[in-house]
Each structure stands twice: as structure tokens, then as C-alpha cells.
Structure 1
Amino acid sequence: MHVTAETPDLTKNQRLVFDALSRADGPLSAYTILDQLRDDGFRAPLQVYRALDKLLAFGLVHRLESLNAFVACAHPHCHRHAMIGFAICETCGQVDEFSDEVIEDRLASFAQARGFVPAKTTVELRGQCARCRPN
């Protein structure tokens, strides 16, 4: 995602972390981000985690729970969806972000029927992308 006029003002550290994720070819762990930003004055994991927390709150990055890693948001305004999904290739590491209203509605119905109030819904599909899948 490219930063737009609607994007909140970011601190220097938030901007550096966001830029590192935006340039990355795949998901990055907080420690990988720290290693990449040492020359920019990052010395402790807490600096990265604080920036990531704010970027998550702004909807600019996503945490991939199964990988304990982060990616820059691929779709503007995706934070307006109740459900965000990711297809993660276990071979090349490619991550495709998606939202799907049908899945979102089914999950909402499931939760409502059980009196459950979800705070966040993330779907992660893991497997092989079309390029890596053997023919």
C-alpha cells in the first residue's frame, strides 16, 4: 500500500518500519526488521514492536499469526472489512491478501448463532501458490 493523504502522520520509527515492510518480498519478523534498521538507530526489539503496534492500529500492516511475522497492507481501506484473509505459499513465501464478503458473512452468522462477539477475524490459508505447485 502506498501512503496517501488519508494516512495518519507517522513517526520516524513508524515510517522506517512501514517502509521496510513495503519493500520486502515477503513477511518479516520483528527481529528481521530490527536487523534491517540497525543503521537507522534501532537498537532494541521494543522500538520495532511499538512501531508495529501503531501501524497495526492504523491498518497499514497485518500480523500473520501462523508465521509470527508482518506484511504491509496490500489493499487500501482493507481495515474496513471484518475479515481479512491471507494465502501463504509455504515454498516461496508469497503472501496474497484478500477479503471475501461471503466468507465474512458466514463467519459472522456462525458467531452470532453462538452468541460470540469476535474482536478480529483473520483467515490464513497455507499451501503452495500456482508458481510453486508441481504440475
Structure 2
Amino acid sequence: MNDTQKRVHRILCSAQNPLSAYEVLDKMRAKGAVTPPTVYRSLDKLIEKGLAHRLESLNAYVACKHPHHEHDMAAFAICESCGLVKEFTDPHISERLSHWGDDHAFRTEKVTVEIRGLCESCAK
């Protein structure tokens, strides 16, 4: 990883909630000039290396909680109230989706599951 990618990764790791690319950019600007394309390239590289994920429904990024594991699938529970995001793995979901692809002659390239609802604290 280059220095910029390391900085972006540290920012994602220290964030309490998912960050948009521009929120990452704002945090990086506190320590010097940086441009949006630089941040987007760094985020893309981190995703490519399995160190970050893009949450499509939020248009935001999170650090991978399981960076040393091979991922067939990324799954997230997203709280609609407080914004908490929990990454999880479930071999049953992954297996079922894999079988669906096989059964329908569909070559899966990437699977991201986003479940939206309320976390335990907000549901009370």
C-alpha cells in the first residue's frame, strides 16, 4: 500500500460509521492537500485488496472487519436509526447464492448483501 492508501485505511478503521468519499477527503485535507480522484483511487485499491467495502445503499465505505479472510460475499446489517453497520459472514447464505448461480448458469463476480433495519439498541 502507498502512503495515501494507508491514510485512507486508517481513517476508515477509526470511523464509527461508514464514510462517504468526500468525508474521507475532508479528514485527509486536515493534514495536507488531496484531490477527490486520489481518494477514489485509494478506496478502489483498498476494496481490490479486500481491506474495505463499499456500501451501495449508503454510497459509503467501511474498513473490512475480516481483512485476512477470503471473501466470496460481504454481508452487512445496517441500522436505519443510528447508522451502525455490522459486517458478518454466513456460510449458508453464501452457499445458497452460489448454488443459485450454478443452477441458473450465472457466473457471480461479486456478492454484497445489505440488510437494513434496527439494531438491538434502537429497536428497544
TM-score clears 0.5: yes
Deviations 1:44-89 (A, max 9, x none): 21010011111111111111011010000112324x1211100001
Corresponding residue for residue 50 of structure 1: 41
| Equivalent residue runs for 1:71-110 within 5 Å | 71-78=62-69, 80-110=70-100
Are residues 1:128 and 2:118 paired?
yes
Q: After TM superposition, where is structure 1 displaced by more than 3 Å over at least 4 residues in a row?
A: none
State the AA in 1 paired with 2:36: P
Inter-partner Cα distance in structure 1 for 2:6 and 2:43: 10
State the AA in 1 paired with 2:10: D
Structure 1 segments unaligned to the other structure (5+ residues): 1-9
Percent identity, please: 50
Corresponding residue for residue 4 of structure 1: none
RMSD: 1.0
Structure 2 segments unaligned to the other structure (5+ residues): none
Q: TM-score, normalised by structure 1?
A: 0.88
